[in-house]
Amino acid sequence: MKVYKTNQIRNIALIGNAGSGKTTLAEAMLFEGGVINRKGEIAIKNTVSDYTEIEQDYGNSVYSSLSYAEKNNVKINILDTPGMDDLCGVVVSSLNVSDLGLLIINSVNGVEAGTESASRHADKANIPLILVFNQLDHDNTNFETSLEKCKNFFGGKATLIQYPVDAGHGFTSIIDVLKMKMYKYNAKGEVEVLDIPDTELGKAEKLHNELIEKAAENEESLMELYFEQGSLTEDEMRKGIKLGVSARSLFPIFCTCARKSIGVGRLMEFIANIAPAPNERPMRNVVGGKALKMDENETPSLFVFKTAVESHVGEITYFKVMSGKIQEGMDLINTKSGNKERLSQVFVTAGKNREKVEELVAGDIGCTVKLKDTKFNQTLTTKEADTKYEPILFPSSRHSVAIKAVNDADDEKVGEILNKIKFEDPTFVIEYSKELKQLLVHSQGEYHMNILKWYFDNVYKIEVNYLAPKIPYRETITKPAQADYRHKKQSGGAGQFGEVHLIIEPYEQGTEPKSMFKFGDKEQKMSVRAVEEHNLAWGGKLIYCNCIVGGSIDARFMPAILKGIMEKIEEGPLTGSYARDIRVYVYDGKMHPVDSNEISFKLAGRNAFSKAFKNAGAKILEPIYDLDVWVPSERMGDVMSDLQGRRAMIMGMGSEKGFEKITAKVPLKEMYRYGTSLSSITGGRGVFSLSFDNYEKVPTEVQDELLKAYESEQEEE
């Protein structure tokens, strides 16, 4: 295969709602570019994209698929992405190595939930867009209605380059208002370029003039020419359109029927002429080492954006060449680990079909196999450059489950499999919670988890169950309490003896230890001799005050008392949750000259603390999260009602790009499967994000429920 220069490369991502025809369009582009000689079909399971077993089983894309095609001596790298929002991590990683997004719109439905979601990801990645109206041959196509929805959503950026003449059953013709020609296609997808018929000429000329104005707006010199001449040539229009596309001030609209190859060749021609080359886009930020340029004469470097595993092949590493030239047999350094990696082979791919190449230049996308330890988001370059590119930031998790093997003997295997899968899909976040004693999987939603389940069922043959995650409650106290405990044990030889008297109280940041407590009619003075402040790993603090006077407890036993308290603070008496924000005063006790030892005082301190805790107005704290929800305005009331039923506190409301944004604080306990509920309420259009805020006391009725549940659990054990 020939080597393409940087300015001959276009990197595009196909994005949009599920069912909009992204994979079919990719297939048509490969056919048009001569990479394949026959188009596959999703129903027959023979497309270049969607080649994995799970994708063929599900009937839609689950992973990104890299292919390429050539048009007018330009190589177009095509990343076909999934349309389900649960798989948005794949869309995000693809957009991060693309220079243009093709947002595919189902012309029957217009702007759908997946269209909106894909647009948001493109906005965040600052990627230029071309809007492609597909499936214009469908009986229920209503181009004008779909176009109106599109313009309402994208505003003045959405600009017609093409419109269909005969959308619907029998669709064959497109008017191109840039070329001012009609493209007419036969049953084989062959095109005839004709003059625009008189019946369409007036409409086409009006749109042509609007396009000239849009093109002229992108450069002052073009605007001056337009004012002087009253028009622009096709080349001048193309220059203005390219500037507008690159600046994201203009989203050209194209028309296709990918299934019949209608409009595909002209779309590819436009991409070759107008889409920015990799060196015409901002370079990826460098977070360490030498800053490099997107230039084939630079120091070689590559950025890994995807890791995949295929049977009979093993691990495949997909990368974008960021600078220089990448050649077969080259040795580079992983700038994260410092280890050397040899690129024994370099490939370009069309789905699962890989073709060896001698080299890839800056801006191109390819893959290699059998790297030792290089994964996604890592950089390979020379030791001298030591460049590290900014990692891809993936969306935060929106759905969590606990996963458990049906057969306990498979627990270890489940953990190993999850650690392998998270490298293929970094939006799976895996953690074992020592506190909850659960293996947790954080994902983008239930559909995302169904994909994981498919792998356990069909590839690894291990039965697993999904369970609701336990909530990481905390326990604290609301008032002072006093307790003492004597640990005494005699068993023939040396015995055990330790007695501890202590007081506990709630701790608030910035407060000082007290010098006096009163319980009933009895006052207890405190003489604080030393204060230790311990930041707890789970949040909050323990303040440990040594108030011993007169040597009633030897100083050497004070650490043992603290150790006993720390053991108990890890297992609060109410629900077994971590305790926090407590000040402890150890003020008295007794020793035995022979039998006192560290274990005795550890146990005495532990039990005295536990007794005091139960009398100190113990309260359960629950995690509260900041919630942002974006919903269609017509569903605002339904979503608000649902949130109120989840004990949410609404903090504010606003509008963003045609959506209503609700900001709230909500208990984590109420958010299990929220994504499914929100999708149901909003027809799939609602999206949300969650982030931890703080811990707050639970309502009395909720605490009573939790106490009963914990007591039942303890009885069962």
Cα dihedral value 65, 70, 73, 74, nearest 10? -30
Q: Does residue 717 have a pLDDT over 70?
A: no
pLDDT for 378-432, tens place per residue? Answer: 999 999 999 999 999 999 899 999 999 999 999 999 999 998 888 889 999 999 9
Contact 557, 544 (CB under 8 A): no
Q: What average pLDDT does this structure show over 580-596?
A: 94
Residues contacting 178, CB < 8 A, separation 6+: 161, 208, 211, 234, 237, 238, 241
Cβ-based neighbours of 295, under 8 Å, separated by 6 or more: 6, 279, 323, 324, 362
What is the arithmetic mean of pLDDT over 614-626? 94
Judge contact between 425 and 89, C-beta under 8 A: yes
pLDDT at 517 over 70: yes
pLDDT at 314: 85
| Mean pLDDT of the region 642-654 | 95
Q: Which residue has the higher pLDDT, 685 or 273?
A: 273
Cβ proximity of 570 and 578 under 8 Å? yes
696, pLDDT greater than 80: yes
Mean pLDDT of 37-59: 91
Q: pLDDT per residue over 163-222, tens digit each?
A: 999 999 999 999 999 999 999 999 888 999 999 999 999 999 999 999 999 999 999 999
> Using one digit for the tens of pLDDT, what is the confidence trace for 506-516?
999 999 999 99
Question: How much is the pLDDT for 710?
Answer: 86
DSSP letter for 130, please. E
Q: Please, is 69 exposed, middle or buried when counting C-beta atoms within 10 Å of its C-beta (0-12, 13-18, 19+)?
A: buried
The reported pLDDT for the residue numbered 523 is 92
Sole residue written with tokens 């960021």: 322
Q: In terms of Cα–Cα distance, which of 305, 334, 333 is closest to 319? A: 305
Is the pLDDT at 476 greater than 70, yes or no?
yes
Instruction: Give the pLDDT band of residue 492 (cuts 50, 70, 90).
Output: low
pLDDT at 712: 83
The sheet that has 399-405: what strands, in order across it?
429-433, 438-443, 399-405, 464-467
- The model's confidence at residue 572, banded by pLDDT at 50, 70 and 90, is confident
Please state the separation of Cα 161 from the chain's center in Å: 34
Q: Two tokens at 552?
A: 């009633």
Q: What φ, ψ does residue 120 adopt, rounded to 5°?
A: -60, -40
| Nearest of 188, 204, 326 to residue 264 by alpha carbon | 188
513: which 2 tokens? Answer: 């230890």
Helix then strand then coil, in percent of the chain rounded to 5, is 30, 35, 35
- Where does the pLDDT of residue 655 fall: very low under 50, low under 70, confident under 90, or very high at 90 and above? confident
Contacts for 43 with CB less than 8 Å, ≥ 6 apart: 59
pLDDT band at 575 (very low <50, low <70, confident <90, very high): confident
CA–CA separation, 166 and 173 (whole Å): 6
Backbone phi, psi, residue 692, to 5°:
-65, 140
**105 burial via Cβ count (<10 Å: 0-12, 13-18, 19+):** buried
Is the CB of residue 387 less than 8 Å from the CB of residue 91? no
pLDDT, position 189: 87
> pLDDT (tens digit, 9 = 90+) per residue, 259-315?
999 999 999 999 999 999 999 999 999 999 999 999 999 999 999 999 998 877 889
pLDDT: is 257 or 520 the higher one? Answer: 257
How many Å apart are CA 276 and CA 414, to the nearest integer?
45
CA dist 517 and 505 (Å) reads 10
Average pLDDT value for the chain: 94
Answer whether 368's CB lies under 8 Å from 319's CB.
yes
Q: How many Å apart are CA 580 and CA 562, to the nearest integer?
A: 14
Query: In whole angstroms, what is the distance from residue 119 CA to residue 128 CA?
Result: 10
For 414-424, how does the pLDDT look when each residue is reduced to its tens digit (9 = 90+)?
999 998 888 88
Q: What is the pLDDT of residue 576?
A: 86
Per-residue confidence at 2, pLDDT binned at 50, 70, 90? Answer: confident
Would you say 487 and 498 are in contact if contact means Cβ atoms under 8 Å apart? yes
At residue 350, does pLDDT exceed 70? yes
Q: What is the set of domains in the chain, with CATH numbers?
A: 6-280 (3.40.50.300), 286-389 (2.40.30.10), 399-466 (3.30.70.870), 475-617 (3.30.230.10), 620-702 (3.30.70.240)
